Chains A and B, each alone.
Chain A
Amino acid sequence: GESVGLHLPTLSVQEGDNSIINCAYSNSASDYFIWYKQESGKGPQFIIDIRSNMDKRQGQRVTVLLNKTVKHLSLQIAATQPGDSAVYFCAENLGGGGADGLTFGKGTHLIIQP
């Protein structure tokens, strides 16, 4: 079965607020994690990644947190904008060099309310 999952299928936030999207993974051998954003009719778009030797990484308006103790990954989006509306996926690589592709979670649909 899948080893990456998300706690909420839909997350609704007010424009300007911060968004937090959570993800749980079950494989302790995973060493690389990515967050993707998918808009309707488009392919997944890379947002940010983090490797297992780190617990936090920041990008432009986004932060990824990795808690290996409880196998939890989160994506924080600051000052959410209408353009942030999309489905967000966490994905993990199960180690072994990564040639076997990514395992994706089910996705969280982020809805921005005006």
Chain B
Amino acid sequence: DTAVSQTPKYLVTQMGNDKSIKCEQNLGHDTMYWYKQDSKKFLKIMFSYNNKELIINETVPNRFSPKSPDKAHLNLHINSLELGDSAVYFCASSLQPNQPQHFGDGTRLSIL
């Protein structure tokens, strides 16, 4: 199936740990994104990545770093996890910026 897929679906870990979330899209899209959805369902852009250009939302702590090994992948690395990082993280992609974005099913991160 063509889709945006994220792994893992659930991630439970302790404060202070470093973790990664993987994202792959086989839609042939040029732009990929990471969003954070909090407990009140509010979705906020974290990063967008297009043609090796990374645009970072200024409110995102530098403990978060996206890494793109190729156009089909945009992984999210998080260092020194904090309680406030608990949320659902969504990866998305679009053919070009300013076109419909297709979302993965999310990774629920819980910090103990």
Q: Please state if A98 and B105 are interface contacts (CB–CB under 8 Å).
A: no
Chain A: CB-nearest residue to B101: A102
The 8 Å CB contact of A99, one of B42, B43, B48, B105, is B48
Count of chain B residues near A, Cβ 8 A: 30
Would you give the 0/1 interface string for A25-65, flagging 1 where the beta carbon is closer than 8 Å to chain B?
00000011010101001111110010000000000000000
Chain B: CB-nearest residue to A39: B105
The 8 Å CB contact of A106, one of B42, B94, B100, B105, is B42
Q: Please state if B43 and A104 are interface contacts (CB–CB under 8 Å).
A: yes
Interface residues of A in 75-108 (CB under 8 A from B): 87, 89, 91, 93, 97-104, 106-107
Q: Please state if A101 and B45 are interface contacts (CB–CB under 8 Å).
A: yes
Q: Please state if A98 and B97 are interface contacts (CB–CB under 8 Å).
A: yes
Q: Please state if B98 and A101 are interface contacts (CB–CB under 8 Å).
A: no
Chain B: CB-nearest residue to A44: B103
Q: What are 11 A-to-B residue pairs whose CB atoms are below 8 Å?
A: A31-B98, A34-B101, A38-B41, A42-B106, A46-B101, A89-B43, A99-B50, A99-B53, A101-B45, A103-B45, A107-B42
